[in-house]
Structure 1
């Protein structure tokens, strides 16, 4: 027993050292994200595809439950000291930590969008922002179509086709399978309370969507979470790829979902950068049907949201992102506008 325990601890120590070394080395991080991760994701997603439910959600739930319940159970039996109990809990959490980073989390240490694509960063100027917003609103209005249903098969086919098309030029992996299996979150009512519409399950390389998603949200959320499965960790980059994929689709509903998905980020940046008069002028250019849809969409999610629970989740996720080299935390989502402007300037040149 002692020999096996020692071997287990040595393996754990080696894996921890590997994780920390990779996080500090750009060469190792690049090797992981470009060579190791595609292989790992193919294996793990093939396994998770065998199950109709989100096994990652179940694993997280059981792990949290186990870490809390085990000390109580062990002490009730009065055969284990608190020291051993806490050491066992701590070791289990370290194994989960290693699994998280080796299975997906080391992608946080890879090169960012600008480094991967060699597209230069373009700083905001009144001119380029105005040009971007003018073109965006024109395309948003032009793409508008009522979306009353979700065609999951079409969305999957379009997402796989377009990620395969764009992968090489835009620095993102191609899907590991032609039929990536999206799953519904196990705890949808609770997830809606904290305002989460989708997630990437790193432990088994599966991506999940909130069961309450509206038809207009579904295509953009699907392609956003698929971007995470393809190794993208930045929320801004995932928004960018979802936008690029959806707005290139020939399916009108998917295309509109892509434009609509960044409307809040665009308006938020416009309100911050433009004068009140310029903002009002810009806002009035948006089709009234789209404004009404945005209001209804906001009201729909607000009715499900719990401010108290949501605030805790926001705080935890903000710390999580900042702890994994996303310095802007949850504000990272809105940085998609900067990526879109840089991409537009690069295309124009």
Structure 2
């Protein structure tokens, strides 16, 4: 049986990659057919629990893995066939359930194709987007703090943020209604310290469909991160598309803190992209940003810098290649690509 399960991995990979060649099929039969029903049930079952079931499962599996390694540490290479089959069988089971429960969403029709928007943009288009986003971010910061030199501090608990995030999804535009969110299952990750060292603000557990948020990172970023992870729950695999949906739903939220989280996030990414395209050209815009906003940017930068270690570098490399192996050719750079979606979508909306 172990051999059958192990070697079925090859068949699974062939089947997944073959199905992935037909995004229309994935879109209609999986992402809009099977998956929403399964996700609804998963969130109903696990969403009401106050702790992350997925994190507990991962913790148990890690302990079992360490126990297995310790048990087989002596003579591991002498028994390389049996041990290799055991490892492959576990990978095979993981691969099967990952793609069945969520992973096939990586192969659905790209959002920019469905919305018929251009995701590529010029320097001039980016500068226009930065100007608009900068003005909006400054206005929100001043409206919240009443002082352009004071950083925004969100007064909500993590649970209050998770509950408020639902309101943004209720206000989602009609052309994005397929991503409307039902049945909350958002948790503060029990692995927030490891996530910080890995460089992640959150993640979706594909097996329990729980959105996990790193509760240690600066709170002003949590509304956007929460909306991003919720986008994964609606069946979006692409990180750029989740950033885009997260931005839209947070900015459409009636709560000012959510709007600030969305626009400050977009501004920071847009400035980074401009700097990549024209080094030094972001300076003129940074001078226009309220000091309070810049303090929030520094808060975010300081937080992630303190967790910058070889562990972070390894997981960035690992996740970059994981994304590329799952139809996300931009890898980690995909996070930045949402700016193109935001620009393209904004231009389409303005023409209606």
Length-normalised TM-score, structure 1: 0.87
Partner in structure 2 of residue 46 of structure 1: 44
Tell which deviates more after alignment, 59-68 or 90-99: 59-68
Cα distance in 1, alignment partners of residues 4 and 194 from structure 2: 40
Does the CA-based 8 Å contact 1:38-1:176 persist in structure 2?
A: no
User: What is the CA–CA distance in structure 1 between the aligned matches of 2:255 and 2:81, rounded to whole Å?
Assistant: 60
Structure 1 position 136 matched with structure 2 position 143: no
Over the aligned positions, Cα root-mean-square deviation in angstroms equals 2.9
| Length, aligned pairs only | 340
| Contact residue 71 and residue 85 of structure 1 kept, 8 A | no
Distance 1:327 1:61 in 2: 30
How far apart, CA to CA, are the structure 2 residues paired with 1:335 and 1:61? 33
Aligned residue in 2 for 1:268: 272
Structure 1 residue aligned with 2:339: 337
Tell me the equivalent position of 2:147. none
Alignment of 1:244-263 (within 5 A): 244-263=248-267
| Contact 1:172 1:232 survives alignment (8 Å) | no
How far is 1:234 from its partner? 1.3
1:268 counterpart SS class: helix
The answer to whether the aligner puts 1:102 opposite 2:100 as a matched pair is yes
- Per-residue deviation, 1:194: 2.1
Specify the SS of the correspondent of 1:175: coil
Q: Which residue pairs with 2:292 in the alignment?
A: 289
Deviation at 1:307, TM superposition (A): 1.9
2:302 paired residue number: 299
Q: How far is the alpha carbon of 1:9 from its aligned partner?
A: 8.3
- Cα offset, 1:155, TM superposition: 3.4
SS, match of residue 160 in structure 1: helix
Match of 2:148 in 1: none
The whole-number CA distance in structure 2 between the counterparts of 1:307 and 1:77 is 33
Distance 1:191 1:127 in 2: 36
Structure 2 CA distance, aligned partners of 1:110 and 1:7? 29
Q: CA 1:17–1:283 in 2, change beyond 3 Å: closer, same or farther?
A: closer
Question: Secondary structure at the residue paired with 1:24?
Answer: coil
**What does residue 207 of structure 1 align with?**
211
Q: SS at 1:92's partner residue?
A: helix
Contact residue 167 and residue 174 of structure 1 kept, 8 A: no
1:218-270: CA deviation from partner (whole Å, max 9, x where unpaired): 11111111111111111111111111111122211111111112232111122
- 1:236·1:335 contact (CA, 8 Å) conserved in 2? yes
Asked if the contact 1:53/1:183 (under 8 Å) is kept, the reply is yes
CA distance in 2, matches of 1:14, 1:281: 55
Runs of 5+ consecutive residues of structure 1 not aligned to the other structure: none
Change (3 A) 1:84 1:297: closer
Contact 1:41/1:176 (<8 A) preserved: no
| Unpaired segments ≥5 residues, structure 2 | 145-151
Q: 1:46 to 1:32 in 2, by over 3 A?
A: same
Determine the C-alpha separation between the residues in 2 that align with 1:309 and 1:10: 32
Q: How does 1:192-231 map to 2 (within 5 A)?
A: 192-231=196-235
Q: 281-290 or 220-229: which moved more?
A: 281-290
Q: 1:312 to 1:8 in 2, by over 3 A?
A: closer
State how far apart, in whole Å, the 2-side matches of 1:35 and 1:168 are: 20
Change beyond 3 A, Cα 1:167–1:248: closer
Residues 340 and 86 of structure 1: CA distance in aligned 2, closer, same or farther (over 3 Å): same
Segment of structure 1 superposing worse, 24-33 or 59-68: 59-68
CA distance in 1, matches of 2:74, 2:67: 11
Aligned to 2:35: 37
1:75 Cα deviation from its structure 2 partner: 7.6
Matched, 1:174 2:177: no
Deviates more, 1:130-139 or 1:267-276: 267-276
TM-score by length of 2: 0.86
SS in 1 for 2:211: strand
Q: Is the 8 A contact 1:54 1:186 kept in 2?
A: yes
Alignment of structure 1 residues 318-329 onto 2, 5 Å: 318-329=320-331
Offset at residue 181 of structure 1 (A): 2.7
